[in-house]
Amino acid sequence: MTTLRLPGLVDAHVHLREPGYEHKEDFYTGTVAALAGGVTTVLDMPNTQPPTATPALLREKARLAAAKAVCDVGLFVGATNDRADAYLPAAQHACGLKIYVSDTFGSLRIDSLDLLHRLFRTWAGKADAVGYRMDGREQGLGPIAVHAEELMLPVCLNLSHLYDVPLHVVHVSRRSEIELIRTAKERGYRVTCEVTPHHLFLTTEDAARLGPLGDMRPRLATPDDQAALWENLDVIDLFATDHAPHTLAEKAALETPPPGVPGLETMLPLLITAMVEGRLTEDDIVARCAHNPRRVYGLPAQPDTWVDVVVEDQPVPWSNERMKTRVGWSPFAGMPLHGRVERVTLRGEVVYEDGRVLAAPGSGRVLFGAANPAA
Whichever of 94 and 170 has its CB closer to ligand DOR, that residue is 170
Distance CA 115, CA 263 (A): 32
Q: Which stretch binds ligand DOR (CB under 6 A): 4-12, 88-96, 252-260, 312-320?
A: 252-260
242 binds Zn ion (CB under 5 A): yes
For the bound state, the minimum distance from the C-beta of residue 24 to ligand DOR, rounded and expressed in Å, comes to 8
Q: Which stretch binds ligand DOR (CB under 6 A): 60-68, 101-109, 117-125, 359-367?
A: 101-109
Whichever of 79 and 272 has its CB closer to ligand DOR, that residue is 79
CB atoms within 10 A of CB 315: 16
Listed residue (349, 370, 347, 369) closest to 358, CA to CA: 349
47 binds ligand DOR (CB under 6 A): yes
Contact criterion met (CB below 8 Å) for 49 and 20: yes
Contact criterion met (CB below 8 Å) for 172 and 230: no
List the beta strands (DSSP E) in 240-295: none
Q: Which stretch binds Zn ion (CB under 5 A): 59-67, 241-249, 280-288, 339-347?
A: 241-249
Build a one-symbol-per-residue string for 108-147: x at contacts with Zn ion by CB under 5 A, - elsewhere: ----------------------------------------
Q: Which residues pair with 231 in a beta bridge?
A: none
Contact criterion met (CB below 8 Å) for 74 and 63: no
Name the pairing type of β-strands 238-239 and 191-195: parallel
Q: Which does 259 bind (CB under 5 to 8 A by kind): ligand DOR, Zn ion, none?
A: ligand DOR
Q: What is the DSSP string of 20-58?
A: T-TTT--HHHHHHHHHHTTEEEEEE-S-SSS-S-SHHHH
Name the pairing type of β-strands 96-100 and 238-239: unpaired
Single out the residue of 105, 123, 163, 297 in contact with ligand DOR (rule: CB under 6 A): 105
For the bound state, the minimum distance from the C-beta of residue 198 to Zn ion, rounded and expressed in Å, comes to 11
Q: Which stretch binds ligand DOR (CB under 6 A): 117-125, 172-180, 258-266, 323-331?
A: 258-266
H or E element, residue 346? strand 336-346
Distance CA 152, CA 102 (A): 7
Single out the residue of 202, 244, 280, 307 in contact with ligand DOR (rule: CB under 6 A): 244
Nearest residue to ligand DOR, by Cβ distance, number only: 260
Q: Which does 65 bind (CB under 5 to 8 A by kind): Zn ion, ligand DOR, none?
A: none
# binding residues, Zn ion (CB under 5 A): 1
Cβ neighbours of residue 243 under 8 Å, at least 6 residues apart? 11, 13, 14, 15, 16, 30, 33, 42, 262, 263, 264, 325
- CB neighbour burial string for 211-238, b if at least 16 within 10 angstroms, e if fewer: ebbbbbbbebbeeebbebbeebeebbbb
Q: Which stretch binds Zn ion (CB under 5 A): 48-56, 89-97, 182-190, 238-246?
A: 238-246
Q: Which does 364 bind (CB under 5 to 8 A by kind): ligand DOR, Zn ion, none?
A: none
# binding residues, ligand DOR (CB under 6 A): 12
Single out the residue of 31, 52, 92, 104 in contact with ligand DOR (rule: CB under 6 A): 104
Single out the residue of 216, 236, 267, 296 in contact with ligand DOR (rule: CB under 6 A): 216
Q: Which does 166 bind (CB under 5 to 8 A by kind): Zn ion, ligand DOR, none?
A: none
259 binds ligand DOR (CB under 6 A): yes
44 binds Zn ion (CB under 5 A): no
Nearest residue to Zn ion, by Cβ distance, number only: 242
For the bound state, the minimum distance from the C-beta of residue 128 to ligand DOR, rounded and expressed in Å, comes to 30
Q: Which residues pair with 9 in a beta bridge?
A: 39
Q: What separation, in Å, do the N-terminal and C-terminal C-alpha atoms of the chain show? A: 51
At residue 232, the 3 state secondary structure works out as coil
Binding footprint of ligand DOR on the chain (CB under 6 A):
15, 47, 104-106, 147, 216-217, 244, 258-260
What residues line the site for Zn ion (CB under 5 A)?
242
